[in-house]
Amino acid sequence: MTSWPVINAEARLKQLGFNPAEVLHVKHNDLTLSYEDGVLCLKHPENPAQPLSIDFNTPRFQYRLKRAAHEQVVKACRIKKQDNIQILDATCGLGRDAMLLQQAGFRVTAYERHPLLAALLADALIRLPDDHVKFNLQNGDAITAFKSADYDVIYLDPMFPDNPKSARVKKDMAILQQLHHDSVDDSVELFKAAWQAPCQRLVVKRPQKAATLSADKPTFQINGKTCRFDVYQRA
């Protein structure tokens, strides 16, 4: 059995390179940040038995990682006859797409602007085996990196509305919505800023029946059961 050091959430934040005061300052009063059994997690008082944590080591997600080349997000970001593609994931969220893209051979830098969510991501990354590929996580606003010519693809995944048919999504989204309770939906402005970036391709993940973020027609789309990827080819 693994023996975890007895430390609290603030000590864990320091281990991960975060300033606890800055992170906890943006925490919604209804949420509790805990460090239990080696995992940083957020709890909601209405459902304390199901905290929100990020774990890339689950068998289900590891299976997806092994088949990353077949994932729709990978197909949407892949550029024919080009290797060493560098991707800027501007809205990292729970980090699953960033992990899939990194596993598929892309070089991924992922930005998450909410400090608490960035801390959960950092905790999940550090719990991966040492030989596991990891994306480069940055806590901050990706718009600061849009002017860089280092990225071939910019990937946007604005927060999806809650899907009541999925208990797992409902739990994740309920706490995420608490984190972003004061946030304004700036997905259109984010798209416009990304459109000005010197990248070859802009990929936007949208709910299947949602409108595009731009009046410009995507170069092509990849459709799934619940979501689609709008691909805008710049070069």
* Residue keyed to tokens 């051979």: 105
pLDDT, one tens digit per residue, over 163-200 is 444 444 455 556 666 665 556 678 999 999 999 999 99
Q: Which two tokens stand for residue 7?
A: 């430390």
pLDDT at 118: 96
Average pLDDT over the chain reads 87
Q: Which two tokens stand for residue 49?
A: 């038995």
The fraction of the chain above a pLDDT of 90, given in percent, is 67
Q: Lowest-confidence range among 7-11, 45-49, 62-66, 138-142?
A: 45-49
Nearest to 54 by CA among 4, 121, 152, 128: 121
Total-model pTM? 0.89
pLDDT, one tens digit per residue, over 97-149 is 999 999 999 999 999 999 999 999 999 999 999 888 899 999 999 999 998 88
Q: What is the side-by-side strand order in the sheet with 86-89?
A: 136-139, 107-112, 86-89, 153-156, 201-207, 227-233, 220-223
Give the residue with greater pLDDT, 230 vs 169.
Answer: 230
Report how far residue 46's alpha carbon sits from residue 63's, in angstroms, rounded to the nearest whole number: 32
Pairing mode, if any, of strands 86-89 and 107-112?
parallel
